[in-house]
Chain A
Amino acid sequence: MRTLTLGTSAALLLAAALAGAASAQTVQVDSAIAGYQKTSGVSGNLSSIGSDTLNNLMTLWAEGFKRQYPNINIQIEGKGSTTAPPALIAGTSQIGPMSREMKSEEIDAFEKKFGYKPTAIRVAVDALAVFINKDNPLDKLSFSQVDAIFSKARKCGGAKEIVSWGQVGVTGELATRPISLYGRNSASGTYGYFKEHPMCKGDFKDTVKEQPGSAAVVQGVTEDKAGIGYSGMGYKTSGVKALKISLKDGGDYVGVDDPTQVYSGAYPIARFLRVYVNKAPNKPLDPMVAEFVKYVLSNEGQQVVVKDGFLPLKAAMVQEEHAKLQ
Chain B
Amino acid sequence: MNCKEISRIASQAMDRPLTLRERVSVWLHLGICDPCRNFVSQLRLLRAVLKQQSHHAENDEKVVLSHSAREAIRETLHQH
**A, B from the same assembly:** no
Residues of B whose CB lies within 8 Å of any CB of A are: none
Residues of A whose CB lies within 8 Å of any CB of B are: none
